[in-house]
Structure 1
């Protein structure tokens, strides 16, 4: 809208606007629409910032909604029934079996880990063995190659039962369908490849490839012994009129001490759902950070736009327009542009589920049916509008009370006008609204609060860094170099780019440094640190009668090595004091102890790899009421203290024990550790197996990887062939699996951090563009005074390099501090600072600032002096 358009509006009309709010709004909307006809150049960065942030939030929440709906939609197939009863280490009693059989159609399965050996005993692999009955599956389908009924594939032929296995097991053992393998004490024929298992998600994390067979086949292997670590499941298909939740409650009341874990289809894959919620929360917060960083770009764009509208604003005020009218005119324009950015971001959110559906189905075996998710889009839109309004309000507020004479005379008046307290309060309220909405959405309030607090602190610190850099430049000694002297002057002069550049790049680079160092330390710890400290093998399901012979076999197979063995049972905590765990809200920290079964043991003496922090250990000959030693950190997280009681269900028997002491445990070395260690008399006569670890002699450090692998394979062959029912876990294989998981998580997190960095780059570009007006005047005056283009290029390049250097150094320092806190304090892992990450960050900062800075100022250097000087 031009000044001529303003003059065409009668002064009385402007006066009418003062009469009430509604006429003012109507008039402001008319002016805003008329002025927007001339285009809105300079708002590209504004649009991109809003689009990027809204698109990130909308996409993450839409994809998470798609996955959650898929789990809910296929809940019965994922769970394997309408209701699922689970026990560990024991079968049902006749009374329990009769009760469950009377509820509906039942499918019985058993699962355990065991070693699958080639027919000649030369090779073996750990497998997740699942034995099913003829009713399996009650819901969903099992896909196999060849496509045949499970009864046919599992049929006994020539004294061997059939089994199907995942392709990974065939690959590990270099076998084909039709091969004969040994499982426990029996030979099993692999009759097909398992390509789809409908309820695999409800079985938890798969540590090894699946091998599926019949219950009769499993019984023939001899793997199921008293105390063996076997998970038994009973899946029920209920009549349509029955309420699964009501039946589950009734079953708990009927068998209060059974130790059942009962789940309905609504809770089909709790672990997966928690991970989806947590990861989507994290990515939403990163997207919100990108949006807030983009808000700085919004503020820069609004400030630059209003600066370019000085003649129009001056005309408004000369004709008698009130400050409120001026603010409303440009507020309508800005929010209209924000609406365009929000719509573009929502389009990205709508597209995201359709783009990712096929990929997610390959990663997570849930049918991802992409759709339109209005809730996720509404949240992203609200964040977008709130952010745009929050960051636009301060520049608009400064414009309201700038006098017309100042607008005509002072090029920087829009930036320096005084700010009414109402605008400052409004901005604060909007910022708190954004934080409150983020907290309201968050599953883990503490993580969200920490994240938001960290972001707010980063903004404050970056502002202080900018002030510090400007102060250092102001106090720098005079130098002979003209370009350097000009660069230092540009850093601290009024209206300098320093605050915008430091703020733009600082947060994005800090986030990248933090995540990169955390990723590096995790890989170092898992790939090198843990591998050097951890035992070579874990052995599970060593029977009581076999433990002495097992020790002898290990000594012969690996002389000089260290074998540690302890008794192990499985139990579930059912009560903390008098509080039933099933009815309490499980806390995020320490809550894992209360979910599902935990390994428990007993000992007469304090374990060597732990330290008492409270209480005393019981005497070796203790024979009183049950006592338990609890892990110190987990006890504090659950609010437990010495003298309180816990109730644990083990083998269908509820045991209430008093907490006698707390222990600090070093989990990082992967040695044998238990959250709960009981007094020996607690489990007198209870059937149980043993858990053992084997650490080879230190001579392995002098051998090549191939020699170590060959020796380990020979040891495993010897032990597995001598004790086929014992499950052997090679620690290196477990660490490789963890490394793969870390790599997948790191990729997703880096993509999210990349979004924040892109937002930072956009804001940097916007900040440099916003400063071009002042740079034009500076360049023209300097050229008039005799400065050459080369001198100006050197001055600008030096300025941008100094700003990039300061920002990069801050990002390295802040990222190092943040990563140290996460790695050392939260993860309790050794912290290692990676200088490669630091140097790469510094180089990135310099390239971005110098590159964008020179790209933006190159056009300025070619400006003619006369047109610019006439307007000064």
Structure 2
């Protein structure tokens, strides 16, 4: 080892020409992984650090559709300082009834907030802004609500049956992240003001929260468990500050996993560049290696000398990548604070950097072993004699096995880190399959070139010969460019399909409106008003309650490990309904529907896909807590549901006798005739606005959700995701470009020999340029076609099988990919060729 290290250091003094691509590939991949995981760690630490402010307390008790009982109130109030809020969605109307907007209404008490602070304009006490003046309660609203209604602070608006005065702008509320998905602007008011509006009725969809600030030294987890034991059938959802924003945390983990896998792909693509650089470097060191062996050096010493050099360079590349990853949190902190209202305190995250470093070293070692192994057993005579060609020798199985073990280590580490191990396994399997398939594609291109009929065009004949000759660049070019372009096509088509489905597909199939909180005594009048306002349209209405699954059979959901697939059904409250007849928009897949006059034990129909994911069976029981009452029902059948059409669907539909006498409201959808097109020529938007005005003024307590507005909110989220996806795809493409440049540079030594011999035999520079350009164009065309086919297959799997959305192939992506592949291969190829064609013939011919 000491001797090898001395030789390695001495050789490195002479320069390491050709390793720029090597360093850039390692730096890019390591930097991407380190940056993603460092930023994710920063966000997770921010959520954990501000957990109390995000949750609004040390403990949070939540109920839907009912307030706490006196016994429950006594228990909660005795835990410590308490603050109560109530939240619901409702319509904010202008005083003259000419316009309205959906808002997320939040009623708070004098103790709010227990942790953190509310930022308003003007910056005065929240209690003052919300107090009653001249018979009207005050409220503050997000700027978006002012913009939607084209009003300013000081305006008088209507909420339910009450007039309220908008006294300020709500800039920031500390606990908004713990309130779940919010797609309408916030309006914050006092509880007295909400009570005056008349919106809270029996069965109304209201979420009640009690936040508790515990005395110092208390154990929130222990108290939460005690509360669950004390009120097992109350239906409370109890959370601690350690679980302040679980949905956001899961999304951060999932997205960081996706970006880490993309970064790992970029690193693996860069590994091809590592292999090319090592191979080219060793090819240039053939005389030195021959000298080593002539002087009696063993093959393992030669391998060790150059392995030490390569790993020393890998250390430099990893270090540069870690620097990029380390500064990423400092660069992105302010941007993330504008997107997610959590204070991002940037720091260094050793765990994230260590993981990236391990990936970097493993990748460098994996892709360097095979080129090193090819050099080990080449005789010194062959090295001297074959000075003008690429080195090739038999490869010992030891190196193949070691390379395989290292590759498995990379895959194992990636799977171990992943939250969703199945997705990580599929991703890595797809990458490995792409490697193998690209090898076959390269072999196929070479075989076609070898069997092509003889052509009269000299440039074309030379191009075909260059594609299949020994030491051809075909394999390197196809592999390096193919992986990056395949990933680019896959991500681009997924992005396209998501946008098409949300922007066009869903908009065409979905109803125009959802109506929530239609009271029992209003449903008949509501139907008549809709018929008068929107004749020939379709109104579907069903009763709705909210409930939380507490037990699957005898298993307590609170103590079970919730599965990744289907687990969303068990998290939080779900809408439930009852029906005597089978819903028209679903199909039974197992079991039988109950008789319309069923009067026996409660029965339930469960969504088929979710039931299979949770391992449920016909005849099994589930327990649901509704309005503080635990109801156990037997699963009578499974239904296949088309969630994608946004019609009224429920995971659970109960037999009508289950909720006899329970207070509840109704949920309805309205689909305008001809999909919302008005034959009279009235603009669709104006017609929808007129319908909403009429219904909102007639039924002020009914919440109207315009589906287009909800889809616009989803589109904004997709746009933010798409930006990250494009950045990730760009990283992979940059890695491919670097590898392509390295592959072409690695072949320059042999190309110099070819160009000089051909020029000596009479070939002109124009002929050679045409030949090389034709070769690169053919390789780029073949690679682009493969990338389109492979990317289409991969995106189909993700969109159709994983997301279960309609798949659409975008030919714009396909043509763009072809153009990119041709420009890159021809451009980089000719850039290197131009320098080659200027080489003097004498020095090259003298060494043949």
With the length of structure 2 as denominator, give the TM-score of the two structures: 0.99
| Residue correspondence of structure 1 range 300-699 to structure 2 within 5 A | 300-411=276-387, 415-698=391-674
- 1:838 equivalent in structure 2: 814
* Residues 1:862 and 2:838 are matched in the alignment: yes
User: Following the alignment from structure 1 to structure 2, what is the Cα–Cα distance between the partners of residues 116 and 828?
Assistant: 36
**Which of 766, 770, 793 is the aligned partner of 2:742?**
766
- The question of 1:783 aligning with 2:759 is answered yes
- Give 1:159's match in structure 2, choosing from 106, 125, 135: 135
Q: Which residue of 1 aligns with 2:728?
A: 752
**Partner of residue 177, structure 1:** 153
Shift of 1:700: 3.8
- Residue 415 (structure 1) shift: 3.6
- 2:107: which partner in 1? 131
Q: Distance in 2 between matches of 1:702 and 1:291?
A: 55
Q: For 1:38-437, list aligned pairs within 5 A.
A: 38-411=14-387, 415-437=391-413
The DSSP-based 3-state class of the residue aligned with 2:16 is coil
Unaligned ranges ≥5, structure 2: none
Deviation at 1:828, TM superposition (A): 2.0
User: Could you give the per-residue CA deviations for residues 781-828 of structure 1, whole angstroms, max 9, x where no partner exists?
Assistant: 111111110100000000000000000000111111111122222222
With over 3 angstroms needed to count, the CA separation of the structure-2 counterparts of 1:372 and 1:222, relative to structure 1, is same
Say whether the 8 Å CA contact 2:46–2:345 is kept in structure 1: yes
The answer to whether the Cα contact below 8 Å between 1:407 and 1:413 also exists between their aligned partners in 2 is no
| Corresponding residue of 1:794 | 770
Q: Cα offset for 1:531?
A: 1.1
Distance 1:145 1:94 in 2: 38
User: In structure 2, how many angstroms separate the alpha carbons of the residues matched to 1:694 and 1:431?
Assistant: 56
Deviates more, 1:284-293 or 1:515-524: 515-524
Q: Secondary structure at the match of 2:115?
A: coil
SS at structure 2 position matched to 1:416:
coil
8 Å Cα contact 1:155-1:162 kept in structure 2: yes
C-alpha contact (below 8 Å) 2:389/2:750 kept by paired residues: no
User: Which residue of 29, 33, 37 maps to 2:13?
Assistant: 37
Q: CA RMSD in A?
A: 1.0
Deviations 1:111-155 (A, max 9, x none): 000000001000000000000011100000001101111111111
Q: How far 1:413 sits from its partner (Å)?
A: 7.0
Contact 2:549 2:622 in 1 (8 A): yes
Residues 567, 688 of structure 1: 8 Å contact kept? yes
Matches within 5 A, 1:802-813: 802-813=778-789
Counterpart contact for 1:398–1:418, Cα < 8 Å? yes
Query: Structure 1 residues 270, 706: CA separation in 2 closer, same or farther (over 3 Å shift)?
Result: farther
User: Which digits, 9 at most, give the CA deviation of each residue in 1:74-97, with x for residues without a partner?
Assistant: 000000000000000000000000
Residues of 2 paired with 1:290 and 1:415: CA distance? 28
The answer as to whether partners of 2:390 and 2:750 remain within 8 angstroms in 1 is: no
What is the alpha-carbon distance in structure 1 between the residues aligned to residue 513 and residue 696 of structure 2? 12
Distance, in Å, in 2 between the alignment partners of 1:730 and 1:205 is 17
Distance 2:320 2:552 in 1: 51
**Does the residue aligned with 1:233 lie in a helix, a strand or coil?**
strand
Secondary structure of the residue aligned to 1:111 is: strand
The aligned residue for residue 721 of structure 1 is: 697
Q: Which moved more, 1:480-489 or 1:411-420?
A: 411-420
| Contact 1:572/1:598, CA 8 A, preserved across alignment | yes
Q: C-alpha distance in 2, partners of 1:248/1:156?
A: 36
Deviation for aligned residue 1:416 = 1.5
CA contact (8 A) 1:306 1:414 kept: no
CA shift in 2, pair 1:412/1:113, >3 Å: farther
* Residues 593/415 of structure 1: CA separation in 2 closer, same or farther (3 Å cut): farther
Q: 1:412 to 1:548 in 2, by over 3 A?
A: farther
Distance 1:450 1:467, change over 3 A: same
Separation of aligned partners in 2, 1:383 and 1:519:
28
Give the drift of 1:411.
3.7
Q: CA deviation at 1:204?
A: 0.6
Cα shift at 1:290 = 0.3
The whole-number CA distance in structure 2 between the counterparts of 1:703 and 1:753 is: 45
